[in-house]
C-alpha cells in the first residue's frame, strides 16, 4: 500500500512538473509576441518607416486679407516648377528658390526630407512673383529669353547682351551661387522687342 501511494505521488509530481514547464514555455512565447507587437507599433505611431504626403498649410488664425483672397485661387491653373522654369527661362533650382516661401504656394512633401517636396503655384501667386522680380509692364506667361539666346539670335557677344539688358526695366537680374557671384538674367519678349526697336531706330 505504501509503495502504491509513493508511486501515485511520484506520478502527480511528474505531471505537475511537465505542466509547469509547458506554462513557462507558453509564457515565454507570449512575451516574445507582445514585444514584437510593441516593436512594430511604436514606429507606426511616430511615423517612422512610412511614406506620407503632407500638405503644408498656414496655422489656423494666421490668414491675412490677402491670404483669404488668394485662398479663392483653388479653381485657377496651377503651375509646376518645370513649367515656370521653361516659361521664365530660369533654372529649376532658381524657380524653386523664388516660389518655395511665397504665401499661397502649395507644398506636397513625400516623406520627411525637404528635397522630396513638390510645389504647385496658382496663377495669381505666379503673377505676384513675376511682378515683384520683373515688373508689371510684362506678362508672366509671355516668352522669356536668356542672355545666351538673345546673343545668339542677334549675333552679338554675350557681354554685349549683358550690357544692353543690365539696367533695363522689366529684366530679371538676381545673383546666385555660393558667393553671389553669378548673375542670372531673364528677359521678357516685350522687353527684348523694346530694346531691339531702340537699336534699330535710335532717336
pLDDT per residue over 123-133, tens digit each?
A: 999 999 999 99
Least confident of 56-65, 100-109, 139-148, 149-158: 56-65
Measured distance CA(104)–CA(98) in Å, rounded: 13
Judged against a pLDDT cut of 50, whether residue 11 lies above it is answered with: no
**pTM of the entire predicted model:** 0.61
pLDDT band at residue 10, thresholds of 50, 70 and 90? low
DSSP 53: E
Question: Across residues 58-69, what is the average pLDDT?
Answer: 51
Per residue in 100-127, pLDDT (tens digit) is 999 999 988 776 666 678 999 999 999 9
53-91 burial, b for 16+ CB within 10 Å, e for fewer? Answer: eeeeeeeeeeeeeeeeebeebeeeebbebeebbebbbbe
| Domain spans, the chain | 1-49, 51-133, 137-203
Across all residues in the chain, what is the average pLDDT?
Answer: 76
Amino acid at each position: 500500500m505504501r509503495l502504491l501511494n509513493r508511486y501515485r505521488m511520484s506520478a502527480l509530481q511528474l505531471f505537475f512538473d511537465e505542466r509547469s514547464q509547458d506554462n513557462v514555455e507558453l509564457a515565454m512565447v507570449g512575451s516574445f509576441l507582445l514585444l514584437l507587437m510593441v516593436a512594430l507599433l511604436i514606429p507606426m505611431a511616430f511615423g517612422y518607416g512610412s511614406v506620407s504626403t503632407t500638405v503644408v498649410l498656414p496655422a489656423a488664425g494666421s490668414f491675412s486679407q490677402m491670404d483669404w483672397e488668394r485662398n479663392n485661387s483653388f479653381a485657377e491653373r496651377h503651375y509646376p516648377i518645370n513649367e515656370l522654369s521653361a516659361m521664365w527661362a530660369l533654372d529649376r533650382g532658381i524657380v524653386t528658390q523664388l516660389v518655395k516661401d511665397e504665401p499661397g504656394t502649395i507644398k506636397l512633401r513625400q516623406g520627411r526630407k525637404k528635397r522630396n517636396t513638390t510645389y504647385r503655384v496658382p496663377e495669381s501667386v505666379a503673377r505676384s512673383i513675376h511682378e515683384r522680380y520683373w515688373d508689371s509692364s510684362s506678362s508672366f506667361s509671355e516668352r522669356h529669353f536668356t542672355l545666351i539666346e538673345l546673343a545668339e539670335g542677334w549675333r552679338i557677344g554675350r557681354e554685349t547682351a549683358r550690357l544692353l539688358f543690365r539696367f533695363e526695366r522689366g529684366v530679371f537680374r538676381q545673383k546666385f551661387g555660393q558667393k553671389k557671384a553669378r548673375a542670372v538674367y531673364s528677359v521678357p519678349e516685350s522687353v527684348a522687342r523694346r530694346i531691339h526697336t531702340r537699336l534699330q531706330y535710335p532717336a
